[in-house]
Amino acid sequence: VNQILLLLLVLTVCAILYNKVHQVPLALRNETVDLESPEEMEEEIPVVICAAAGRMGAAVAAISSIYSNTEANVLFYILGLKTTIPHIRKWIENSKLKEIKFKVVEFNPMVLKGKIRQDASRPELLQPLNFVRFYLPLLIQKHEKVIYLDDDVIVQGDIQELYNTKLAPGHAAAFSDDCDLPSTHEMVRSVGMQNTYMGFLDYRKQAIRDLGISPSTCSFNPGVIVANMTEWKHQRITKQLEKWMQRNVEENLYSSTLGGGVATSPMLIVFHGKYSSINPMWHIRHLGWSPDARYSEQFLQEAKLLHWNGRYKPWDYPSVHTDLWENWFIPDPSGKFKLTRPDS
């Protein structure tokens, strides 16, 4: 009996010593992994950009400008139609952009069936990819916070700064007000750009008047969005936007108005009084509204983001401040996309 007890005592002591010896290296190994992989701990910044047929060079220039001006861990979601996806993928993989982190996502235009009223005055505004921003939670599912950018932008600042935009509790998105930057007011007046709800909604219609929104209310531009996906889903923002798209098909509430942006108007309705603000320098707009009106060069150099919203795009002619855009353009390796210039 004594021998058995002695044997049990020896085995117990050995087990205790074994555990102590092996616990320390395990803890050290775990700590080493954490120290050696800081990139895995770094927050990913999802940026959504559309690559539409005929203007893929715009998406490429926008991506190039973002990637070149940040050290942040950016993941680009590039939205396209089935017919355009192979082109944009080859463009990226065969240029200096091959080092970016990106996912190409196909947008199915069938989700828009019966929701878009045809408008011959601005047919380009009816392209399916203009409505990608309505469906962000369905397309980008694993992120809490997302940046959406129109393709006709150039980012001169660090995208991390835009991503850090604070959204107030209960707000699903942040935008830039069209009245928020005094230095742009002269530009707005000179080119006739609309910056109030009157320019986007038809106040002759009872459904619009019933909203109780003053026509002089300052509008916002949804070409740059910082969105909270949890709030977006909780408030059923996509369903609300689709409701107003459907009502416009039935009642023509905004398609023929002066503003013309059929993707802007439903957002103005749904987000009225319920959005946070983006720093004005992170969305300098109206560069594409007129081929004649120009900002000062000093002002544009200080801007964080430039947006050629309007008819006159920097890859076409005529347009303004094309040099600032072309700095970031990467030629199409396939030669399909070409810039339009006076001497071309």
Tell me the per-residue pLDDT of 78-124, one tens digit each, with 9 for 90 and over.
999 999 999 999 999 999 999 999 999 999 999 999 998 876 566 66
Distance CA 255, CA 263 (A): 9
Q: Is residue 37 part of a domain?
A: no
Q: DSSP assignment of 69-132, as one string?
A: T--SEEEEEEEE-TTTHHHHHHHHHTSGGGGSEEEEEE--GGGGTT-----TT-GGGG-GGGGG
Structural domain that includes position 149: 45-327
Q: Is residue 112 part of a domain?
A: yes
Q: Is residue 118 part of a domain?
A: yes
Q: Is residue 298 part of a domain?
A: yes
**What percentage of the chain exceeds 90 in pLDDT?**
70
- pLDDT tens figures, 20-29: 444 433 322 3
* CATH number of the structural domain spanning residue 128: 3.90.550.10
- Say if residue 187's pLDDT is above 70: no
- pLDDT tens figures, 173-184: 999 988 866 555
Q: Is residue 18 part of a domain?
A: no
Q: Is residue 336 part of a domain?
A: no
Alpha carbons within 13 A on the beta-carbon side of 301: 3
Query: Based on the structure, what is the number of domains in the chain?
Result: 1
Q: Is residue 155 part of a domain?
A: yes
Q: Mean pLDDT of all residues in the chain? A: 86
| Predicted TM-score of the model (pTM) | 0.86
pLDDT band at residue 38 using 50, 70 and 90 as cut-offs: very low
**pLDDT attached to residue 102:** 98
